[in-house]
Amino acid sequence: MKPSCRAEASKDLDPRVRRTRKMLQDALAQLLKEKEFDKISIGDIAEASTLNRATFYDHYPDKFALLESLVATQFEELIAKRNIRFDSCEGALKSIAMAVCYYLAETIKPGSDALRQASTPLETAIVSVVRRGILDGFAQHPPKSGMPVEILSSTVAWAIYGAAKEWVQSPKRMPVLKIGETIERMIMPILLS
């Protein structure tokens, strides 16, 4: 399972397109350090990236799509950096859960209000990336439950995100490996039902 098929497809893009998208993502990442997502405009992103609004719209329909793309890129970089593997079904849920926990731990500073401030856009972007990764896994290994894979993928993605969000807000966090195993044990019955 891979967290995002979109980023892989972007490797096949023209280098100029990749560079422009990276500039837009970097601009949004910088702006998110300065203010809340809801207060960031397309004009702010264009100005920070030194590109114009028309260029922004050539690449993304709105700032939510840019945020999702940024999260997917950051998520994949984290997975590569931490050498998290999705080679087989066995342990894939644990790996995904660990990746989400690492991502939240590295993105959200302890005691910060960031989870609450960017809650909906950030949650939606992370869950979307995780859901795509789970769908990719189901394409290779269809679930035996016979449930629609779209619903099953969404349920599992939200469950993983919810558990990881609770974990990252906990003052006494258990190690990432242990929470990954715990989340896997909790979610496995969903996949087997």
Whether 99 and 3 have beta carbons less than 8 Å apart is answered as yes
Residue with more model confidence, 165 or 84: 165
The pLDDT, as a whole number, for residue 167 is 94
State the pLDDT confidence band at 5, using cuts at 50, 70 and 90. Answer: very low
For the cut 50, the answer to whether the pLDDT of residue 38 exceeds it is yes
What is the C-alpha to C-alpha distance for residues 145 and 165, in angstroms, rounded to an integer?
27
Tens-place pLDDT, residues 143-172: 887 889 999 999 999 999 999 999 998 888
Q: What residue segments make up the domains of the chain, in order of their start?
A: 5-192
Question: For helices 63-81 and 42-49, what crossing angle results, to 10°?
Answer: 50
For the cut 70, the answer to whether the pLDDT of residue 184 exceeds it is yes
Beta-strand (E) ranges in the chain? none
Pick the range with the lowest mean pLDDT from 68-72, 90-94, 116-120: 116-120
pTM of the model: 0.78
The pLDDT, as a whole number, for residue 6 is 42
Residue 30: phi and psi, rounded to 5, are -65, -45
State the pLDDT confidence band at 10, using cuts at 50, 70 and 90. Answer: low
The pLDDT, as a whole number, for residue 2 is 39
User: CATH top-level class for 5-192?
Assistant: mainly alpha
Tens-place pLDDT, residues 101-131: 998 988 776 555 555 555 678 888 889 888 9
